Amino acid sequence: MATLWEYHGSQFLQQRFQEELSYWNRERLSPAFPSDMTADRFDRDRRMLRLEHGFIEELRAEVREKAARAPTDPDGFIAWFEGLKESGPGQHDPLFPWLAQEASRDEIRWFLSQEAAGEAGFDDLVALTQVKLPPRAKLELARNYWDEMGRGNAKGMHGPMLSQLVDILDLDIGIDSTAWQSLALANAMTAMATSRCHAWHSVGALGVIELTAPGRSAHVAQGLRRIGLSGGERRYFDLHAVLDVKHSRDWNDEAIAPLVAEDPRRATAMAEGALIRLRCGQRCFEHYRAHFGLG
């Protein structure tokens, strides 16, 4: 487990940097006009790209050894990858049974405000990651994206479904009121999806979300039911408790396995991406438990 002094030693794992990176991500990914590209903007983009790369390098350093031990043949790698569900960083965190069974409405609201702010938009991450991927993996990312889009039905889109819950519970999801751990999670996912040198990392990181989300979503859905939210209101979490089981299976079979079969180096990159994602999540859970005064 990481200790406080480790964070003090990092220029990246801290509030100010993660806020800056979050604001930059919001700005650079927003649709804009040619006139928005000022000289200052180019300078800032260049500076932030280098810092973002340094941030991911630091996260890689934390997981590199473990990732290097992952098998690089397709079957062996899938077995290792699926094993992360049981024993990956942050799995089976006691925060989730507590949210399901004990947390008050306000405690659940605070938790969800951090989580919603730390949600980089799975749909956009998939869309950014699929660029120039080989056809079979690209098709799987397309199917996954189509589900994110509610298969063409606005009411079934996952992103707006979460936004609705944010409105219902009147959550504050501003960058300034979000812990750096949650911002770092979103920023790491965005960095991996936007920089092509981390494309395989992103495939691994997105795949491990599909693998591990159902367990957490079921607990959150249970907590929301307990505090009186209707089926419609809890839909985002009820849906992901079930749908992501299928998404994970398909992602592993149709994206990860064929990509690793083509080039075994991708297994190590995907392992790093998955471990980076889980480690970022683990830091969030530790922070949330400390915030709630849990052990």
Q: How many CB atoms lie within 10 A of CB 175?
A: 17
Tell me the three state secondary structure of residue 40: helix
CA 190 to chain centre: 9
DSSP 253: I
| 3-state class (DSSP) for residue 157 | strand
* Least distance from Fe ion to the Cβ atom of residue 247, Å: 4
- Say how far apart CA 59 and CA 57 lie, in whole Å: 5
Residue 277 binding Fe ion, by CB under 5 A: no
Q: How far is the CB of 210 from Fe ion (least distance, A)?
A: 5
Residues 244, 254, 260, 280: which binds Fe ion (CB under 5 A)? 244
Q: To the nearest whole angstrom, how small is the minimum distance from the Cβ of residue 78 to Fe ion?
A: 18
Please, what is the minimum distance in Å from the beta carbon of residue 240 to Fe ion? 6
Q: With beta carbons less than 8 A apart as the criterion, state whether 136 and 258 touch.
A: yes
Residues pairing with 157 in the sheet: 149
Which lies closer to Fe ion via its Cβ, residue 158 or residue 235?
158
Smallest CA-to-CA distance from 270 within 25, 2, 66, 53 is with 66
Cβ 84 to Fe ion, closest distance in Å? 16
Nearer to Fe ion, 89 or 207 (CB): 207
| Shorter beta-carbon distance to Fe ion: residue 46 or 151 | 151
Among 198, 235, 247, 283, binds Fe ion (CB under 5 A): 247
- What residue ranges bind Fe ion (CB under 5 A)? 158, 244, 247
